[in-house]
Each structure stands twice: as C-alpha cells, then as structure tokens.
C-alpha cells in the first residue's frame, strides 16, 4: 500500500486579530479541498494537530470543532498533540489510517491561535512543552534552553555568532518571495547581531515569532491516487522521542530524537541524506537549524555552522534548506507548522511553485520538532511512486 498527498492549503501566517481559530481552520481546509478538486463529503476521517488551544483561546475538543465547522460531520475527527510537532503527528496518524486499509481519503490539519494571549502568557503556555518541574518552574523558557544548546555548540565546535545569524539571514531572504509569510523581508547579519539580546547568545532575530495560522493536506490511497494529476508520494516517515528535560540528555549539541526519526524515514524511503533535494527543517531558533543540518546527515557533526557560512543551504546551494522562509520568516503557529512544512515540500515537488520553486526538486524532507527535541517527526516525499 502506497499513500500520496493530493491537496494542500495554508492561510497566511500572521497576527490575525479579525479571525478566530475556527475561521483559520476552516479556511485552510477549504483551500486543501479546492487544491485537490474534491468535495468535503469525500473525506472519510480527519486528524487535527494543535498544541494548546485550551490555554491560548480556552477551546478544547478541536477534532469535533473542526469537523463541525468544515461540514464533515459525522466522520471521525481526532486531535493530536506533540507540542510544536503536533501537526506532523496528525499527518502520520492520517498516513497510518490509510496504510491500515481503513480509509482511502483523509484530511490532516494543523492550527494555532497564539496572539490572543499577551507575550509573557504565550511564552508561559509554550513552556508546557518542556519539563514543568525541572525547567518552567524555575523560570527557564525555550529561548534559554536553546541558548544553552547554542553556547555548548559554540564552545565544542567553534560555531560562531555570525554563523548563527546567517541562518536567519538565509531564511528571511527566501521568505521575501513567500506571500504567506509573516515577515517577508530581508535582514542582514549586522541587524541580527545588533538586535536585542534575549538569552545569550540568542538575539531577537534568532527567534521565530508568535503567530496565528492553519494548514491542511489531503492524503489518498494508492488506489485513488491515479485519479489526481500530480500526486506526491510519501516515501518514508519516522518519529522518535527523547527526554523531556534538557539536562537529562546525553548531549546538548545533538537531538537524538531527530537522528532516530531520520534513520527510520531514510530506511523506509531507501534513500540517504545525499539523495534529498530540498528540506524544510525546524528553525524555531537559529541554532536548531544548524543542529538539524548535522543530525539529518547533511554534514558532519560540528560542521553545521560552516555549512551555512559556505552558502550550501541557499536556494541555489548544494542542499537548499527552508527555501520558502522557515519558521523564522514564515512564522510559527506551533500546531500548524509541521503540516505547513509538508505542504511547502509538496508544492515544490509538483514543480509549479512559481517564484519559490527550487529547480529540479524531486525529493524532499520535512523535520518537525516538539519542545526542545523531546519529539521529532521526519517525513520524506518524492515525485515518483515508490516501488
């Protein structure tokens, strides 16, 4: 049994003061249906990724809400939660539900409405993805956790402050072409280095923003895929976990969950890192992209900073990464990011992504991280149906 993605939809990622979570979710779902050229009545099951709507907007029971608002009643609808990796998890559950033979056509979606809370309250809510007793209770935030990773990486491997800044610069350069991005504007290394210090060595322009948005994709079985013009095939999928608290990890310079999830996805796909044409990786903070480059096998451990400095992650580089802008430029509505990454890969592999198109992209990888790496989900896609 093979599974393909045949429709994608994304709202603009922004501060949506005039739209509710249900508005955004319904919009993304409608866009995915329109893209696939199918009717909502064709959908047999729905999986929704969301991290913390209960705290952000006071709304739980999101599976039923999404089915209700989209007019999909009475199909089964399930909410999936894995912090910032929630919608990548929803995607995997949708994938498995088709592999099981239970369904032929399923929607996976992700959403988050974050800006209704004040900044400090939003930060406190996000720390629910960390270890409450050992981290958030003593005042740690995710930027401080990733700052610890960054400082250790710099001390151990010689990664420079400028190389961290180059991650943000590259992603913003790509984001200028993306009309759905929250911050589609270029920045310079100097601007990053002079932006306000948040948690040493990370500065404001090393950090992804607080964002509202929603995304959705349509998955179909091999039996139905032949009815669609440009199905993009799921080649491999992996998920792994690590300790919730950072101080319990064996290493602060790698994410073992990423390495384990990637190993499984590569094995299923029958591919190696060198075979991946484009990647969407989780750059919630600039150091995470550098660590991801290493953990995904694109370069040796400790060489990620130099890999960025040498321009290898650029759109025209050896290994284009975040060619649509990444979390840094596009925005990071935590429950929606994983499927946003996937939808951008799908559009790239179709070969008709306009100004955002990377030339000759035939295989793509999406890495979605939950928390500081306690969850990692890796999905690999290809134009050609796997054997």
Give the Cβ contact number of residue 270 at 10 Å. 12
Q: d(Cα 374, Cα 380) in Å, to the nearest integer?
A: 20
**Residue that has been written with the tokens 């484009």 in this structure:** 278
Q: Are 248 and 297 part of one and the same domain?
A: yes
Domain stops at, among 225, 252, 273:
225
Residue 131 within a domain? no
Same domain, 268 and 339: yes
Task: Judge whether 129 lies within some domain.
Answer: no
Asked whether residue 168 is domain-assigned, the answer is yes
- Comparing CA positions, the residue from 229, 261, 293, 332 lying closest to residue 92 is 261
In a domain, 293, yes or no: yes
Question: Tokens 């996805």 identify what position?
Answer: 265
- The pLDDT, as a whole number, for residue 385 is 82
Judge whether 230 lies within some domain. no
pLDDT of amino acid 384:
87
| CA max distance for the chain | 56
Size of the chain, expressed as the number of residues it contains = 387
Global confidence as pTM: 0.97
Q: Tell me whether residue 299 is one of the annotated catalytic residues.
A: no
Given the residues 80, 84, 284, 299, select the one marked as catalytic.
Answer: 84
Report yes or no on 341 lying in a domain. yes
60 and 168 both lie in a single domain: no
Q: Helix (H, G, I), strand (E, B), or coil: what is residue 176?
A: coil
Q: For the chain, how many structural domains are there in total?
A: 2
How many whole angstroms separate alpha carbon 11 and alpha carbon 215?
6
Task: Indicate if 282 belongs to the active site.
Answer: no
Residue 149 token pair: 């990773």
The predicted structure's pLDDT at residue 261:
98
Give, in order, the Cα–Cα distances in Å from 116 to each of 53, 58, 106, 120, 209: 11, 10, 30, 12, 14
Same domain, yes or no, for 301 and 166? yes
Look up the CATH number of the domain holding residue 345: 3.40.47.10
Residues 298 and 353 in one domain: yes
pLDDT at 357: 97
Residue 266 lies in a domain: yes
Residue 200 shares a structural domain with residue 104: no
Residues 221 and 311 in one domain: no
Instruction: Provide the pLDDT for residue 119.
Output: 78
215 & 312 share domain: no
What is residue 292's predicted lDDT score, i.e. its pLDDT? 98
Last residue of a domain, one of 196, 225, 254: 225
Same domain assignment for residues 176 and 323: yes
Of 198, 225, 252, the last residue of a domain is 225
**Do 47 and 169 fall into the same domain?**
no
Same domain flag for 101 and 165: no
Phi, psi of 54 (to 5 degrees): -60, -40
* H-helix or E-strand spanning residue 381: strand 375-382
> pLDDT 10s digit of each residue in the chain, 387 long?
899 999 999 999 999 999 999 999 999 999 999 999 999 999 999 999 999 999 999 999 999 999 999 999 999 999 999 999 999 999 999 999 999 999 999 999 999 999 998 878 888 899 999 999 999 999 899 999 999 999 999 999 999 999 999 999 999 999 999 999 999 999 999 999 999 999 999 999 999 999 999 999 999 999 999 999 999 999 999 999 999 999 999 999 999 999 999 999 999 999 999 999 999 999 999 999 999 999 999 999 999 999 999 999 999 999 999 999 999 999 999 999 999 999 999 999 999 999 999 999 999 999 999 999 999 999 999 998 887
| Domain match, 101 and 143 both | no
Distance CA(186)–CA(259), nearest Å, equals: 31
Among residues 16, 172, 282, 332, which one is catalytic?
A: 332
Would residue 252 count as lying in a domain? yes
| pLDDT number for residue 120 | 85
The boundaries of the domain holding residue 204 are: 139-209+235-382
């Amino acid at each position: 049994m093979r599974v393909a993605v045949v429709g994608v939809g994304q709202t603009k990622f922004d501060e949506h003061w005039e739209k509710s979570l249900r508005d955004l979710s319904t919009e993304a779902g409608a866009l995915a249906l329109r893209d696939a050229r199918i009717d909502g009545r064709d959908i047999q099951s729905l999986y929704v990724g969301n991290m913390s709507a209960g705290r952000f907007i006071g709304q739980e029971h999101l599976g039923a809400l999404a089915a209700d608002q989209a007019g999909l009643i009475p199909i089964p609808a399930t909410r999936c939660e894995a912090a910032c990796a929630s919608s990548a998890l929803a995607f995997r559950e949708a994938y498995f539900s088709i592999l099981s033979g239970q369904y032929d056509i399923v929607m996976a979606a992700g959403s988050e409405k974050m800006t209704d809370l004040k900044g400090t309250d939003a930060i406190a809510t996000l720390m629910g993805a960390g270890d409450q007793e050992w981290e958030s209770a003593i005042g740690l935030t995710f930027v401080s956790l990733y700052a610890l990773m960054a400082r250790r990486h710099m001390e151990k491997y010689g990664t420079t402050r400028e190389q961290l800044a180059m991650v943000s610069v590259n992603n913003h350069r790509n984001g200028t072409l993306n009309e759905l991005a929250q911050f589609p504007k270029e920045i310079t290394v100097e601007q990053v280095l002079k932006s306000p210090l948040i948690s040493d060595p990370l500065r404001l322009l090393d950090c992804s923003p607080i964002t509202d948005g929603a995304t959705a994709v349509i998955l179909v079985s091999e039996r139905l895929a032949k009815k669609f013009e440009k199905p993009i095939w799921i080649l491999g999928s992996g998920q792994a976990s690590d300790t919730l608290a950072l101080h319990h990890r064996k290493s602060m310079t790698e994410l073992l969950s990423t390495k384990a999830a990637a190993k499984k996805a590569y094995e299923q796909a029958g591919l190696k890192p060198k075979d991946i044409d484009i990647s969407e990786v989780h750059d919630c903070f600039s150091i995470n992209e550098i660590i991801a480059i290493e953990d995904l096998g694109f370069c040796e451990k400790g060489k990620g900073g130099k890999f960025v400095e040498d321009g290898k992650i650029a759109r025209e580089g050896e290994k284009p990464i975040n060619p649509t802008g990444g979390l840094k430029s596009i925005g990071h509505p935590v429950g929606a990011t994983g499927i946003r990454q996937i939808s951008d890969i799908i559009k790239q592999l179709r070969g008709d992504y306009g100004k955002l198109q990377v030339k000759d992209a035939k295989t793509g990888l999406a890495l979605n991280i939950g928390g500081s790496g306690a969850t990692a989900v890796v999905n690999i896609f290809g134009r050609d149906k796997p054997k």
